[in-house]
A and B are shown apart, each in its own frame.
Chain A
Amino acid sequence: MYLKNALCAATALTLISTTGAFADTITIATVNNGDMIRMQGLAEDFTAKTGHTLEWVTLEENVLRQRVTQDIAAKGGQFDVMTIGMYETPIWAANEWLVSLDDLPASYDKDDILPAMRAGLSHSGKLFAAPFYGESSMIMYRTDLIEKAGLSMPDAPTWSDVAAAAKAMTDKDNEVYGVCLRGKAGWGENMAFITTVANSFGARWFDENWKPQLDTPEWKEAVSFYNDLLTNYGPPGASTNGFNENLALFQQGKCGMWIDATVAASFVTNPNDSTVAEKVGFALAPNKEGVEKRANWLWAWALAIPAGTQKEAAAKQFVEWATSKDYIELVASKEGWANVPPGARTSLYENPEYQKVPFAKMTLDSINAANPDSPTVKPVPYVGIQYVAIPEWAGIGTAAGQEFSAMVAGQQSVDEALAKAQANTAEEMEAAGY
C-alpha cells in the first residue's frame, strides 16, 4: 500500500516537473501600437497551443530602445523577446546581441517574408528579427479637395506635382493647408522624412569614404524645397508636428496631403476617428523629375531574441507564432482583414480578401519601391533609407533634426541649418573614428 502511494506520488511529481520544464513564462518588451495591443489580446491562442505564458512590458519607443540596449549590454536577461526596428537589427546582430532566426522550421516559410523586409532585418545573410509589421511611406491626399482644385494626383507623382497640388488646395482662411509634413526634431521624426526627400533629389548622407555630404547642391535643393513647401502651404507650428500631430490634423480635415507612414492609411480611413475617411486617395511618395529614387522609406517593427536568454526555445516558438501566416489568419477571423498587421508577408498581398482593402496595393507598391541596400542615386557605404544603420546615427540624426526644425520655425536659414548639420556630423564621425 505504502509502495503504491509512493509510486503514485512520484509519478505525479514527475508529471508536474516535466510540465513545468516545458511551460515557460516569456517576458516580451514592446511598444504601444495598435497591432501590438491586438496581439496581446490574442495571446491566449499561443498559450493554448504551447503552454507558455506571456508577460508584457510595454514601453515608450525611446525608453524601450534604451532599456533593451542597457539590458543586452549588461546581460541583465530581463527580456526574452524584444520589439526592435529595422535600424537596430543589423547593428545589434553585428554586436552578436541577437539570436539568429535562420533555423525556424520550414513551415514558417521564411521565403514568404517580403524581400525588402528580409534584407533590412538580416545581417551577413542571416535573419535576426522577424517582421511583425512593415511600412513604407506614401502620399495620402484628399480626393475632394484635389477635385475641387481642378487637379488630379498621378499614382507616381513628382515633387512638382505635389507642390502644385499643395498650392491649389491651401485655403488658410478655412484652416485647410495644402500639405502636412513632419517638422518635429528627432532622427525618427523629421529626419526620417527629410532624408527620404534628400534621397529623391539625388543626395546622400555620406560618400564612399564616410565624408558627410550635407554641403552638396543636392542637399541644398532638397532642404530648400522641403522648407518652402512646409512654410508656404503647411499648418502653423509645423516645426513641432510629428506623426501623431499630423494624423490628428488630417483626420480633422485640415490637410490636403500628408506624406507619411503607410500604416497611417488604416487610421485616416477609419470612420470612427476620421472626419474624411471616405475622401482619401493614395499615391507613391514623390521624386524629383529625372531622379530614379523615390522618397519612400522602409521600416519594420520586428521581434528579436536577445542572446543570453534562458528561454530561447520558448521565445522562438513565440516569434514563430506572432509572425506566422496563421497569426494573420487569426487576426482576420477575429477583427477583419483591414486590421491584420501589414507589410510583412508576400502571401498577404496575394490574398483576394486582403486585396479588397483600399490601401493594400499602394502599401505593397511603396514597400517594393524601397531598397535599403541601395537607398540613393550615388553609391553609399551604408544600409538604410530614412536612416544610416550605424550606431552614431541616432545622435547625428537628432542633432541635424534640431537644426532643420529650427529652420522650419524661422529661427535660421536653410544655409545655416545645413552648415551646422554638416559641421556636427563631420565632428561626430571623426570622433567615432571613421
Chain B
Amino acid sequence: MARAVTTRRKTINTVAAWAIGLLIFFPILWTILTSFKTEAQAINDPPLFFFFDWTLENYAIVQERSNYMRFLWNSVIIAGGSTFLGVIIGVPAAWSMAFVPSRRTKDILLWMLSTKMLPAVGVLYPIYLLFIKLGLLDTRFGLTIVLMLINLPIIIWMLYTYFKEIPGEILEAARMDGATLKEEILYILTPMAIPGIASTVLLNIILAWNEAFWTLNLTAAKAAPLTAFIASYSSPEGLFYAKLSAASTMAIAPILILGWFSQKQLVRGLTFGAVK
C-alpha cells in the first residue's frame, strides 16, 4: 500500500526539486542570458539578470565569422557514428556477459572500467603518433573510432546492467522454440531492452558531443566539431564572454533539444531496474 503523502510534504519536495534543478541548470541559463548581452553588459558589475538591452548581435557575429554548419555536421557524425558503432559492439558483448558469464566476466568488466581511470593526456602522444602513421589526423573517421573506444566501457556497463534485469528464462524459451543466436538477440532481447538501449544511446551521444580533449587535440580544420567552435571564441586580449556564450548556446542547443524531447526515455532508462 502506498504511503500517504501530505500536501505540505509534497510542496516541500516540489520546491526542493525545483531549487536543485534550477541550481544545476543555472550555469546554462547564465550562458544563454549572457549570449544576448553586449560585451560590456556581459562583464558588468553587479551582474545583470534580465533587465538589459537584449541583442542578437553576438549571434550575427558568430554566424558571420564561423561556418557553424560545418562544425555541427562534424559533431553529428562523430557523436552519432561513435555511439552507433559502440552499440553494435556493446550489445553482443553485454549479452554474453549477462547471460553466459564465465569465471572471469567480473574481472573483465572491472578491467574495462579501469581504462576510464587513466588520464587521457597520458595516452595522447602514442595516439597522436598512431594517427599520423595511419593518416587519421583531422578526419571524422579517426575521431569516431577514438570516441567509440573511449565510451565503449560505459556502453557495455550500462547495457550489461539492463540485460541482467531481463529474466534468462525468456531467452531460454526462445531458444527452445528454435531461435538462433542472432534471432534471440535481435528479436527477443533487443525489443525488451529498448528503454535501456535508448538511454545508453542518448547518454553516449551527449558524452561524445561534449568531449573536448580528443576533439581539440586530434582535429585541425576539416574534422573539428562544435567543441573546437566554442574554443575559438576565447581571446587572450579583448572581451569575448558574450560572443563565447553565443557560440556555446549554439553548440549546446541541438543536444538540449534532443534531451528535452527524449527526457522520458532517458529517465525511464536510467531508473530501469531500480525498482523491482
* A binding-site residues for B, Cβ under 8 Å: 27, 29, 31-34, 37, 40, 55-61, 63, 67, 70, 74-79, 188, 243-245, 247-248, 251-252, 261, 263-264, 267, 273
Contact = CB atoms under 8 A, between A and B. Distances in A.
B233 A57 contact: no
Interface stretch (B144-152, B194-202, B217-225): B217-225
Interface of B: 39-40, 43-45, 65, 124-125, 128-129, 131-132, 137-138, 216-217, 220-222, 224, 228, 231-240
Contact of A243 (B222, B231, B236): B236
B143 to A, nearest CB: 14
17 contacts: A31-B236, A32-B235, A33-B235, A37-B65, A57-B232, A58-B231, A60-B231, A61-B234, A76-B131, A76-B137, A243-B236, A244-B238, A247-B239, A252-B44, A267-B238, A273-B39, A273-B40
A74 B125 contact: yes
Contacts of A37: 65
Nearest to A56: B221
Which 4 pairs, one residue from A and one from B, show the smallest C-beta to C-beta distance? Answer: A58-B232, A55-B221, A248-B43, A60-B234
Contacts of B236: 31-33, 60-61, 188, 243
A70 B128 contact: yes
The B interface, classified by DSSP as helix, strand, loop or mixed, is: loop
A264 B237 contact: yes
Nearest to A30: B232
A261 B45 contact: no
B128 A33 contact: no
B44 A33 contact: no
Contacts of B129: 74
Contacts of A75: 132
B43 A27 contact: no
A288 to B, nearest CB: 28
A32 B232 contact: yes
Given A32-B240, A188-B236, 12 more contacts: A32-B232, A32-B236, A33-B235, A33-B236, A34-B237, A37-B65, A58-B233, A60-B231, A247-B239, A248-B40, A263-B237, A267-B239
A57 B235 CA distance: 14
B220 A79 contact: yes
B67 to A, nearest CB: 10
Nearest to A37: B65
Nearest to A60: B234
A78 B125 CA distance: 15
A261 B220 contact: no
B217 to A, nearest CB: 7
Contacts of B233: 32, 58
A70 B237 contact: no
Nearest to A29: B220
> Which of B45, B132, B216, B238 has the most C-beta atoms of chain A within 10 angstroms of its own C-beta?
B238
Contacts of B217: 67, 70
B170 to A, nearest CB: 51
Nearest to B64: A41
Between B40, B129, B131, B222, the greatest number of chain A beta carbons within 10 A of the residue's beta carbon is seen for B40
For B39, B220, B233, B240, the residue with the greatest tally of chain A CB atoms inside 10 Å of its CB is: B220
B237 A261 contact: yes
A8 B193 CA distance: 63
Given A37-B65, A247-B239, A248-B43, A74 B234 contact: no
B198 to A, nearest CB: 35
Contacts of A55: 220-222
Contacts of B235: 31-33, 244
A15 to B, nearest CB: 27
B138 A78 contact: yes
Nearest to B129: A74
Nearest to B240: A32
Contacts of B44: 252
A55 B228 CA distance: 14
B239 A244 contact: yes
